[in-house]
Amino acid sequence: MVLKPTIALTVAASLLLIVGIACGGAAEEPAPAAPAAPAATTAPASQQQGAAPAATTAPAAQPQQQAAAATAVPTIVATATPRPTNTPSAAQQSQTVGGRLKIAVTPPVQELVRGWLGTTTSANAQVRHFAEPLVHTDRFDGSLQPGLATEWEISKADGTQWVFRLREGIPFHGDWGEFTANDVPHSAALIIGEEAIATDTGLFRGLFGQTADELFENIKVIDDYTVEFNLLRPEAAMDFVVSAQQGNYFIYSKDQWDAEGEPGYIEGAVGTGPWRYESRQLGVGGNLLYSRVEDHWRQTPHWSEMEQINTPEPATRLANLLTGQVQIAEVNRDLHPEAKEGGMIIVESELPSIQVAFVMGGIYSPHSPYHDPSDPHLDIRVREAINRAINREEINETLFSGFGSPHPVWGFHPSLPGWNDRWSREFDEKYGFDPDRARELIKESGHEGYPLKLIITQLSGVPEMIPMAEAAFTYLADIGIEVEAEEMEWARFRADFYRPGKTHGTIAPIRGTMRPAEVTLRFYNVSGPEGFQRIVPDPALDALYAEAITAVNPEVKANALRAAGDIKFDLYAEVPIVWIPSQIAINPNEVGEFIWPGNINTAITHMEYITTAQ
């Protein structure tokens, strides 16, 4: 699948904003949403789809070059105009309100209502419904849009200070008053707390400080509706960082915390979202229940309640859909024909959405305390052998029903900055399915028969992760690797293996979403505290990552990302499989319009816009 050029350019521009996105203060529905600033709607030629590939090696940015580029950045907020694509459809204008919308989902990594206690996937799947980010994501093209923040700007040209102006008159659920600037640093401080294990914890500590006192010094409340972010390092995409596309940063009520403390959040956390959190039951078959917020400032849901039901078995999710126990279900793609035969329809995200890969453990930088020089995965021949052992075409056709599109480098998409066409041209030559060559490489490496722990696990959006891992068992055993499979929840793999730097001798399936490459690099290819998996086959990746995230100049950023991608591609850092759209099965007799972008890190989003069948 290839993005339509107009969407590709919008996404590329919106995810690499250098000046503030503008806002007209209009809600997405029922009033048209404000788009990205006109100056940001067309990406530089080197980033546009179909443009000639840029240099494959990024020159190191000289300080004076960076300074000159930074000085050129205007510190203004542009003015946006409404997009015709956001004109409310007839379905959205309907006054019909359904009863309880039931959705069968793959269980999240963590069951939570406190977003700082888990992954971005878990937070977006459970918290985003009732608590909103500062920056909203458009449901049609995935671009960043005004949310609780109406406008923002880089107020220092070097990217170390941003000012966000906030929406007035937005009530928290219940009797907790209005959202104000005081809720912004409070919510950020939760992410860096001692017990925090959020995906964004390392990132926020790097940006704002290690302690709450330091954070409160750096996130300053100017007045009730203005917040100033003073950063410990440049960040030219702060609007992305405070959006749901990044992950865990949702706005909670400081007044509720001051009155009830953390127990109040556990029992009944409130936010400003279109759904109000009501209750939850933990464990397999457990659920999360939300109720409709009347006259919501952005979008009032079309259903009186929404229930997410944790259902790990694919066959059970399908059966519950076919028997009318739920109206929407996450269904494995190889079960789509059965769903269609039962009268269901399959809808998919507006963007390619999900990247699927395997990550090989133990590839730590020589400078890392986790580095073990005896790990077989530090040998490039072993990494190439694993890549050549995997039959991607068979996986795509058998498990993903042919929906997958090529994925040469984990973390990179052709429509986003940093892409290099060379990876597509050379992929078959370097990564093509060739078990004979894979066996030769294993023998040459001297690691024939080495023990490999295959983690069998799953994440939302890719219910096929378990059978994909099972297929890998056969592929890898066939080339002379002693494979031992262990099934475990992703939360355990995260806590016991990749968080503490103990992935040696493992391989695991992984999924990510369509977001800037530096975000994926941060999660998987950085040695320091921000990194999780820490796949660093060449320490130069660390330097290129630092250059990419501090660059205000978009060309410097793109070149650094491209050079990082070259390292990953040439050194077989991961085992990329395919890009796939996010897909969901619905009962058309009960559910009408369902449009979501797919670039937020969870299976499905924007449930407040799901309409009833007309």
Residue with token string 């926020």 = 204
Question: Could you tell me the end-to-end alpha-carbon distance of the chain, in angstroms, rounded to an integer?
Answer: 31
User: 599 in helix, strand or coil?
Assistant: coil
Q: Which of 409, 416, 452, 463 is nearest to 585 (CA)?
A: 463
What is the model's pLDDT at position 45?
28
Element at 346 (helix H, strand E): strand 345-348
Tally of CB atoms within 10 A around 294: 11
What domains can be seen in the chain, in order of their start residue?
A: 354-580 (3.10.105.10)
Beta bridge partners, 66, equal none
- pLDDT at residue number 499: 84
Describe the strand order of the beta sheet including 506-513 as a list of residue ranges. Answer: 405-406, 575-580, 354-360, 506-513, 451-456, 482-487
pLDDT score, position 24: 32
Residue 75 buriedness (CB in 10 A; 0-12 / 13-18 / 19+): middle
DSSP annotation of 271 reads: -
Closest CA to 345 of 322, 325, 323: 322
Amino acid at 441: L
- Count of beta carbons in the 10 Å neighbourhood of residue 175: 9
pLDDT by residue (tens digit) across 560-584? Answer: 999 999 999 999 999 999 999 889 9
What is the distance between the alpha carbons of residues 560 and 57, in angstroms, rounded to a whole number?
A: 8
Give the per-residue pLDDT at 531: 74
pTM of the model: 0.77
Give me Rg for the CA atoms of the chain: 23
Q: What is the DSSP letter of 243?
A: B
CB-based contact 43:417 (threshold 8 Å) = yes
The pLDDT assigned to 2 comes to 28
**Spatial contact of 485 and 473, defined as CB atoms under 8 Å apart:** yes
Q: How would you write 31-98 as a 3-class SS string?
A: CCCCCCCHHHCCCCHHHCCCCCCCCCCCCCCCHHHHHHHHHCCCCCECCCCCCHHHCCCHHHHCCCCE
Q: Residue 556 contacts by C-beta under 8 Å, 6 or more apart in sequence?
A: 61, 65, 66, 69, 547
Burial of 593 (0-12, 13-18, 19+ CB in 10 A): middle
pLDDT tens profile 122-171: 898 999 999 999 999 999 999 999 999 999 999 998 999 999 999 999 99
List, for the chain, all residue ranges whose pLDDT scores fall below the cut of 50.
Answer: 1-85
Report the C-alpha gap between 317 and 450 in whole angstroms.
Answer: 38
Instruction: Give the closest residue to 55 by CA, choosing from 520, 544, 550, 418.
Output: 418
Q: Nearest-5° angle of CA 546, CA 550, CA 553?
A: 125
Long-range contact pairs involving 186-191 (C-beta distance under 8 Å, separation at least 24): 186/252, 186/254, 186/257, 187/249, 187/250, 187/251, 187/252, 187/254, 188/215, 188/219, 188/249, 189/215, 189/216, 190/114, 190/115, 190/116, 190/252, 191/115, 191/116, 191/248, 191/249
Torsion of CA 113, 116, 118, 119, to 10 degrees: 110
Q: Is-cis flag, bond preceding 539, omega within 30?
A: no
- Cα 351 to Cα 583: distance, rounded to the nearest angstrom: 11
Q: Which residues pair with 512 in a beta bridge?
A: 355
